Structure 1
Amino acid sequence: MVLNNIEKLLEKYDNGETTLQEEQQLKNYFSQETVAPHLEMYKPMFAYFSKSSKEQFTKQVPLKTKSSLYYKWLSVAAVGVLIFGFFYNSSINNTDEYTQTEKELAYQQVKESLHFVSKQLNKGTEKVSYLGIINTAGTQVDYLKEFNHPLRRIFKN
């Protein structure tokens, strides 16, 4: 009778429906030396639960938080560096270092490189152009499905 009760409790335990008293009964049963052979697999699990429930945390927990003054000054310094960077950058951008011919040369080089990339991409699209033909063939095959249902075709008109 005890074994039937333990099996029912294990089923309830697996479904998460046991109470604390029922779990204590299971722990007591599996802490014994002799356990039913078909329930041996549960013994290490309940032994671990019994052992882990006795563990205690012994380290000192610091209750005083570290001063956040350091972080406040760090954020103030970061804002100062950003503001300095913006003003310094705007004063540098006012002077034009490049001549008109250098700008046109750079524009032509960028234009040539983009043209080269465009040609390479067009080569790639030529290789997959057959996919459009497959797509049109697929739609034509869909028309063949209508022959499977001749009555539908007749009554459509």
Structure 2
Amino acid sequence: MEFDRMEALLEKYFEGETSIDEENELKEYFSSSNVAPDFEQYRPLFRYFTEAREQKFTNNVSLISKKPKALWLSIAASVVVLIGVGAYTYFNSMETEKESKELGTYDDPEEAFEATQKALAMLSTNVNVGVGGVQYLQVYEVTKDKVFVE
């Protein structure tokens, strides 16, 4: 009878469905000397719970402030970030100066005029391609209005 009861309680325990009273009953059973041989494997588990409850924390923890280290670490990190940002800005500004000198400056007015004409021709070609696509949309709208008459 007790074997069947303990087996059912163990099954409920491992499913996580036991109450506090049932868990206490299991702890008492496994701390006693008359445990069934089939349940001997569970004895160390419940013995651990009993021993763990009796353990007390006895170590003294010294509270050492680590703020000075954190302060110096944050200052060093800030300096590294500032150096990185300064170096990036310095080298980036040198590159933009070179690019600005090379782009869009012509000494000869005729050469500038030819470059402008090329740019406008390219723009005109691309805009005309886009207008052709819009015309297909207009044909679609007309056809749709014919099919779906309100």
Q: What's the TM-score once normalised by structure 1's chain length?
A: 0.47
Q: What's the TM-score once normalised by structure 2's chain length?
A: 0.49
Bigger radius of gyration: 2
